[in-house]
A and B are shown apart, each in its own frame.
Chain A
Amino acid sequence: MTSATRNRFIAIGALLVAGAALAFIAFGNMGKNLVFYWTPGEMLAQGTKAYGPTIRLGGVVQPGSLHWDAAHTHLSFRVADSDTSGAPSVLVQASETPPQMFRERIGVVVEGTFDRSQTFTSNRLMVNHSNEYRPPKPGDGPDQWKATVSAPTAEAR
């Protein structure tokens, strides 16, 4: 075996080891950072399995469920599978302030954990940017939207 061939074998061996190490670290890291993407209905169906891991809960903000605390820094609301009443929903406590377009009935994704008290503690709140439009109803306009997050009890539109 010439020294060139030997060097080549050593190089390939080192590459394989490095590649395996990278894959091992990457998969390990990924396993720790997996985020489950559930709707409230799906999450509740998981039972106790839903307690603990990071979850991205996707749904719509249930009308009439928005509440700010007095200092206006903590927010609670319910995320439901859909707009219709009676759809499964989960109470969310958000510590992070929501993005500016956050409001009732908007599609949201909240990231956080669920626990035995049936409360979802969220540390990340995202609004879905959709390409799909709902046609506005007659009379829709900024005046009707004053009922944004600051006036949660008002009937949304």
Chain B
Amino acid sequence: MKEFDLATTTVRELNQALHEQASDVTEKEWTVTNPKGSHNLAVGLDAPVNVAIQGHAGYFCAGMNKSANVTVHGNAGQGVAENMMSGVVRVKGDASQAAGATAQGGLLVIEGNAGARCGISMKGVDIVVKGSVGHMSCFMGQSGSLVVCGDAGEALGDSLYEVHIYVKGSVKSLGADCIEKEMRAEHIEELTGLLAKAGVEEDPAAFTRYGSARQLYTFKVDNASAY
């Protein structure tokens, strides 16, 4: 196990050492101590390594992650796992705004609550939040899934494309073109798989599904003259 103490080394040195694993994994297990809210921790990883951050992380932690398994033993600041491509990012505490923004793949698990705009413009990532999410979550979400075991704030799924949203608790309000949808067998199956993958014990049947009404983004031939 490789230990990086950020009281004595820099974030740049940490990230450089992690990036060097991309060509050849020489060290599988990494632990980062004294993160003290530093920004850009474990950003741009491209190797199947396990990184444990022992404390609170700042902005953009595990951004652009590929293949790596990053766990934050604390809270994460804005933009955790933004633009993640693959791998797993797990936040044991709360995440601030824009968690998983634009992420294209992989799994993001937030064991506490997520702030506003969780999964904004997500493009394929699966996000599982054990707590609640803030307003404008999944805004312009294109694909992937967002599972919320608590409640959702205002304007959930505004201008939504094809993300599958599952919420167990209440939804303060739905955004434009986001509607409640029927929970069919294939959705129970998908949700069961997501919960299992995230290690979250919840009854899939207790969730409600939301999705796009497909009135905003789809091309309508009646509007052809407008283009």
Partners in one complex: no
Taking beta carbons and an 8 Å cutoff, which residues of A are in contact with B? none
